[in-house]
Structure 1
Amino acid sequence: MDTIDTLDQLEAIYGTPVDASIVKEVPRVTDQYRAFIEAAPFVALATAGPEGLDCSPRGDLPGFVRIHDDKTLMIPDRAGNNRVDSLRNIVRDPRVGLLFMIPGSGTTIRCNGRAVLSTQPELLASFAVNDKPPRSVIVVSIETLYFQCARAIVRARLWDAQAQVDPKSLPTAGQILAALSEGRVGGEAYDKAWPARAAKTLW
């Protein structure tokens, strides 16, 4: 297998970036980027730690990522499975990457920066939903912010209803857990209980 081992080899294949790919990158939230961030109900959070890399999905009501100022974003950490892989990484390595996605839009927004975790009571209370505050808030200091063109979304037909996969054609969470635990965890009972359990723990 031929591999690319140097930057010179890489640049010989890909050349140099076009002007638009450079101009779009800024160190702050602009009015245009604000519109996308405030409309996004989903962001992928990438982190790094001693054990390796992690990428975690974060979803909530549109605008759940708060623009505190043009250099700072705030993300509530909602109820989950308590693995805290991303949070564990942030405590030890503040570097983060964010990818914002908006249903129906091919344009995604990318952000790189550094994060800390806040448990300030007033801040937690300000993010409460149904009287349930998050246990922490991820505070991101922006270093770079830019949009990604729509090619990947278009190729994937991500928002095309005709391209959607029937969930019944895929293994369920209960089936995956049962297979990996030799039946100790998961199974049909897990799948049946999940909708009610999720409804109680979304926030």
Structure 2
Amino acid sequence: MNCPFKEILSSEEEIREIVGYPSELVMKKGINRLDQHCRNFIALSPLLFVATSDDRGCCDVSPRGDAPGSVLVLDEQYIVIPERPGNRRIDSLRNILLNPAIGLIFLIPGLEETLRVNGKAYVIKDDEILQQMKVRDKQPSLGIGIEVEECFIHCAKAFKRSGLWDSHTWVDQEELPSVPTILSSHVNSAEYTVDIINKGLQESYEKRLY
């Protein structure tokens, strides 16, 4: 398949000619630890996105959601994300084994700015840590431990442009994509009809969140 892009930039200089340079505020806002402001932000966040890549540079972004405060802050340098039951692909965990670099974005509903955290990740099974993240008496069997190297507030422009927190911009329920239909089409197997997939999803959401 022929690439449709005809004007591909290949250097930072070319990009800078178009985009320009960041302000002093942007250049200086990054810190290398979780101060009280960052720790408070994480404590209020019920949703984050985890970015990892393997040793070949193949990337993955995974959403992680739970009650606010589910990400355990050990101190200014280390945090732990509980590994709750999922689809068992373990994309993030496999990537971490090959390449420990990790990037996180923490969100707080209604707040358009986000907190970005970059660092080094480990797949951990420390019982004394994981037992602090029990929910409904169920302890996560694994966690993602992160050594913080950089954190900073990301501006609100993406959320302002998207109107994400404004319910008036949301698509009507009847217009939303049907996830069971999409999965059935992608799997393309007589064993996985839309109805079977829908029942499996509902059972998983109702009985296997933790």
Q: Once the 2 structures are TM-superposed, how far is the Cα of residue 78 of structure 1 from its aligned partner?
A: 0.3
* 2:167 aligned partner: 161
Residue 167 and residue 85 in structure 1: after superposition, are their counterparts in 2 closer, same or farther (change >3 A)?
farther
User: Between Structure 1 and Structure 2, how many residues are aligned?
Assistant: 203
* 1:95 aligned partner: 101
Contact 1:173 1:186 in 2 (8 A): no
* 1:32 aligned partner: 37
* 2:3 aligned partner: none
Residue 87 and residue 186 in structure 1: after superposition, are their counterparts in 2 closer, same or farther (change >3 A)?
farther
* 2:147 aligned partner: 141
More displaced, 172-181 or 55-64?
172-181
The residue correspondences of 1:81-92 to structure 2 (distance < 5 A) are: 81-92=87-98
Which of 16, 20, 23 is matched with 1:15 structurally?
20
Normalising by the residue count of structure 2, what TM-score does the alignment of the two structures yield? 0.91
Amino acid at match of 2:37: Q
* 1:202 aligned partner: 209
Contact 1:172 1:191 in 2 (8 A): no
State the percentage of identical aligned residues: 34
Residue 126 and residue 38 in structure 1: after superposition, are their counterparts in 2 closer, same or farther (change >3 A)?
same
* 1:131 aligned partner: 137
Which of 184, 187, 201 is matched with 2:191 structurally?
184
Q: Once the 2 structures are TM-superposed, how far is the Cα of residue 14 of structure 1 from its aligned partner?
A: 1.9
* 1:117 aligned partner: 123
Normalising by the residue count of structure 1, what TM-score does the alignment of the two structures yield? 0.94
CA offsets per residue over residues 160-197 of structure 1, 9 Å max, x none? Answer: 01111234323322211221233332412321443343
CA offsets per residue over residues 58-105 of structure 1, 9 Å max, x none? Answer: 000001111110011110010100000000000111000001111100
Contact 2:79 2:146 in 1 (8 A): yes
More displaced, 98-107 or 7-16?
7-16
Distance 2:177 2:169 in 1: 18
Structure 1: which 5+ residue stretches go unaligned? none
* Ranges of 4+ aligned residues in structure 1 off by more than 4 Å: none
Contact 1:72 1:142 in 2 (8 A): yes
Which of 53, 64, 71 is matched with 2:70 structurally?
64
Structure 2: which 5+ residue stretches go unaligned? 1-5
Distance 1:173 1:120 in 2: 36
